[in-house]
Amino acid sequence: MNVLAINSSHRKEGCTKRALDIFLEGIGEAEIVRIDLIDLDIAYCRGCMFCRQSQGSCIQKDDMQMLVDAYIAANIIVLGAPVYYNSVTSVLKTVIDRSIALHYSEKIKMKNPKTKKMAVLAPGAGQYNNQYRSFSDVLEFYVQDLNAEMTSFVQMPKLGLRLDADIEPYRKDILIAAKRCLR
Ligand SMILES: Cc1cc2nc3c(=O)[nH]c(=O)nc-3n(C[C@H](O)[C@H](O)[C@H](O)COP(=O)(O)O)c2cc1C
């Protein structure tokens, strides 16, 4: 069992990291790769559509290739994704835009006929109407291009802004998400 745990917070030691820790606890014994997107060198999509002509290769050579290889190797992907301005963080949006190359690539689809499970853990400071609406629309599209099945979307509102905010009220939901990925 290969698990890829991605932290898309711009703070490496915040609520998102701790939510991922709980999820991995729930997974138990596995090969785990953890990636902090903020540490990667991933350039903006140039919109050149080279990936369309070349059936999925990107003209830019940077850490995106390593991330794609990690997706391909994973059976379970857990994405820690805090809400920023009702959407995903800018580092994650950059990765998502670059994932257009996956849209034109048969590589992921051929190797993995929808066998990947994906859980999203989504901390947010506030709690208000439609807090996760745009966020989930963006992710839905992205998950399609990863050819994964989103088995859980754990919304974690009302955490406030502190690095050490208490995420324990969400422990049970996060562990359920881990168990669902193991089914
Ligand atoms: C630039 C920025 C924008 C944010 N926008 C929102 C928002 O729209 N809605 C919300 O509920 N929380 C928002 N937050 C709060 C974060 O989602 C929250 O603090 C989260 O716990 C951060 O995760 P972390 O501790 O892993 O960094 C924002 C935080 C930042 C830094």
The two three-digit tokens of residue 137, written as one number: 């629309």
Q: What is the pLDDT of residues 141-164, one digit of tens each?
A: 999 999 999 999 999 999 999 999
Distance CA(138)–CA(120), nearest Å, equals 12
Atom of ligand 1 nearest to the CA of 10: 27
Instruction: Quote the number of domains for the chain.
Output: 1
Domain that holds residue 170: 2-182
Mutate to test the pocket of ligand 1, among 158, 161, 162, 168 (most ligand atoms within 8 A of CB): 161
Residues 6+ apart with CB under 8 A from 1: 27, 29, 30, 31, 75, 76, 182
Task: Give ligand 1 pocket residues (Cβ under 6 A).
Answer: 9, 11, 14-16, 82-86, 123-126, 131, 159, 161, 163
Mutate to test the pocket of ligand 1, among 16, 38, 78, 84 (most ligand atoms within 8 A of CB): 84
Q: What is the pLDDT of residues 51-101, one digit of tens each?
A: 999 989 999 999 999 999 999 899 999 999 999 999 999 999 999 999 999
**How far is the centre of ligand 1, averaged over its atoms, from the C-alpha of 125 (Å)?**
5
CATH code where residue 165 lies: 3.40.50.360
User: What is the rounded end-to-end Cα distance, in angstroms, of the chain?
Assistant: 12
The two three-digit tokens of residue 102, written as one number: 């996956």
Count the Cβ atoms, other than its own, within 10 Å of residue 73: 14
| pLDDT reported for residue 111 | 65
User: Going by CA atoms, what residue is nearest to atom 28 of ligand 1?
Assistant: 84
CA atoms within 13 A on the CB side of 47: 0
Residues 6+ apart with CB under 8 A from 131: 83, 86, 124, 155, 157
